[in-house]
Amino acid sequence: MPTNKKMVSQIKQMFDIDQDIRTQAMANKNLNEPLASFCSVEKNVSVKTKLGFSMANFLIYSLDAIHNTKLHRIIEDYGYPNAKILGKAGLYYFWLLIQHQDEDVKLQEDCLKNCNFAPKEKAFLTDRILVRYDKKQIYGTQFFRDKKTGKMQLRPVENLKDVNTLRKEAGIKTTVEEDLKTLTARIKK
């Protein structure tokens, strides 16, 4: 049972908004058009500025920036959250918000070190941080869409031979191959 229900409520609200915007971005093809196309009467305009980003990216990056400020304030006011304060679900919501803070890798590192995330969440966050530093990941949790082929690809892994064993030890129930298959199917929709 969480001891700080007000903080859990605030984090849950942030989590819900985070997930809703990302779900809508994946489902709504219009949100993936270049931002410039929302302002232009001409279709298929090639834009070489930040307006070439999609509306979805703009919304997600803006939301992540707003959440960054709120996450720092939570840590300032209450210290690094843990399962005792937030409960298991609340700590999961907090972890996911931290996972999406790619522009603040120091925050990610500090939370990885100071929050008692579940082993599975620690594995995902560890890989996310390593990828941000252009290093090979350990657990094979991070993928990308190849711009040339449009196919999903696994980001480089330190020990590909043992990656599925390491995933299992961290509590990740799927293999790298299963995740790649799922992600590939998702982008074909």
CA 84 – CA 72 distance, rounded (Å) = 19
Q: Which domain holds residue 177?
A: 118-189
Q: What is the pLDDT of residues 84-130, one digit of tens each?
A: 999 999 999 999 999 999 999 999 999 999 999 999 999 999 999 99
Sequence-ordered list of residues with C-beta below 8 angstroms from that of 37, at least 6 positions apart, any chain: 43, 45
- Residues 136 and 153 placed together within one structural domain of the fold: yes
Domain count, the chain: 2
- Residues 147 and 92 placed together within one structural domain of the fold: no
% of the chain exceeding 70 in pLDDT: 85
Q: What is the pLDDT of residues 66-85, one digit of tens each?
A: 999 999 999 999 999 999 99
- Residues 112 and 143 placed together within one structural domain of the fold: no
- Residues 36 and 93 placed together within one structural domain of the fold: yes
Out of 1-15, 79-93, 154-168, least confident range: 1-15
- Residues 100 and 8 placed together within one structural domain of the fold: yes
- Residues 15 and 85 placed together within one structural domain of the fold: yes
Output the CA–CA distances (angstroms, integers) from residue 19 to 2, 63, 72, 119, 165, in the order listed. 22, 11, 20, 22, 29
- Residues 52 and 100 placed together within one structural domain of the fold: yes
Picking from 94, 117, 140, the residue at the C-terminal end of a domain is: 117
